[in-house]
Structure 1
Amino acid sequence: MSTHVPPVEVPADPQELAQAVGSVMYAGDAATQGLDMKIEEMAPGYARLTMRVRADMLNGHKTCHGGFIFALADSAFAFSCNSRNVSTVASGCTIDYLAPGFEGDMLTAVAQERSLAGRTGVYDVTVTNQDGRNVALFRGRSYRIKGQIVGVPADA
């Protein structure tokens, strides 16, 4: 009896591929799931994620700890830069905090590809609250490595 698992079919349509990549990545992303982040939209070079600020995310000022805001922006960046089904990692990033997040706020991170050339990319992420107020601006630099997210055997 063979234990070989055939590769999953890779969607030809770029939009369908981005959505498939998002689903596969999310299923294996314990950090994103553990912070109750949700993928609201995926497209080639684009991702929109949301996260509600919980009581256990507050710092000593009773505002959302910057690390959680960073995690949301970083996850949106990760989904965006992997959306074309080429395994991609961060090579660096920066964040500017513009306004506090508070318990109960619904934060939205929108990641957009600004440049993709060869193995490197640049992505901007804007984090806003439910009122549309800018909470943070994040810029990520990506590096493409070997492999893909969709279309590899389960035992690879």
Structure 2
Amino acid sequence: MDNTPQQVLNTMLDKDRFSEWLGIIVDEYKEGYCRLHFVIRQEMLNGFGIAHGGILFSAADSAFAFACNSHGRLSVALDVSISFVRTATADEVMTVEAREIHNGNRTGFYDITVVNERQEVVALFKGTAYRTGKMVCDDSPAT
């Protein structure tokens, strides 16, 4: 099976019900990079009427997963962290951009930024990916 970035993305999206629930739309995708957006809905708000941190974390984690798997090798999160810079509210469109900083044989490093409609930073996410010995689109070992 093909492991091009587009096939990898299609395979991941076909099985990712949580990203689907978030309403994620992938805008741009290539090796080591993913830009997506989604809208903060009422059911994503916490008791203070602002976006639950887990929603922002999850969207950033999805962008991270798409970017780190874009090379075709099945990659999983080894370490992640997030800093919340400002709040987000219902009906705001969030854009999430994941950029590969380092693509190693067994690990990859990524910076993920979440911005609102005014291009203000809402959250900063950093992720380290571990590259397994399998391919995303089939069960064959990585070469």
Match of 1:47 among 18, 24, 34: 34
Which stretches in structure 2 are left out of the alignment for 5+ residues?
Answer: none
User: 5 Å matches for 1:80-99?
Assistant: 80-99=67-86
Across the aligned residues of Structure 1 and Structure 2, the Cα RMSD in angstroms comes to 1.3
User: Normalization by structure 2: what TM-score?
Assistant: 0.93
Give the letter aligned to residue 110 of structure 2.
Y
Hey, what does 1:74 align to over in structure 2?
61
Hey, what does 1:5 align to over in structure 2?
none
How much has 1:151 moved relative to structure 2? 4.9
Deviations 1:10-32 (A, max 9, x none): 26xxxxx2122111111111111
Moved over 6 A (4+): none
Hey, what does 2:136 align to over in structure 1?
149
2:26 and 2:14 map into 1 onto residues whose CA distance is 11
Hey, what does 2:8 align to over in structure 1?
21
Q: Does 1:138 align with 2:125?
A: yes
How much has 1:37 moved relative to structure 2? 1.0
| Larger Rg belongs to | 1
Hey, what does 1:34 align to over in structure 2?
21
Q: For this pair of structures, how many residues does the alignment match?
A: 140
Give the letter aligned to residue 134 of structure 2.
G
Give the letter aligned to residue 21 of structure 1.
V
Residue 81 of structure 1 aligns to a residue whose secondary structure is: helix
1:132 and 1:142 map into 2 onto residues whose CA distance is 27
Which stretches in structure 1 are left out of the alignment for 5+ residues?
Answer: 1-7, 12-16
1:146 and 1:152 map into 2 onto residues whose CA distance is 9
Q: Does 1:61 align with 2:33?
A: no
Deviations 1:9-64 (A, max 9, x none): x26xxxxx212211111111111111111111111000011110000000111110
2:139 and 2:76 map into 1 onto residues whose CA distance is 18
Q: Does 1:104 align with 2:104?
A: no
**Structure 1 or 2: larger strand share?**
2
1:143 and 1:112 map into 2 onto residues whose CA distance is 16
Give the letter aligned to residue 6 of structure 2.
Q
User: Normalization by structure 1: what TM-score?
Assistant: 0.86
Q: Percent identity?
A: 36
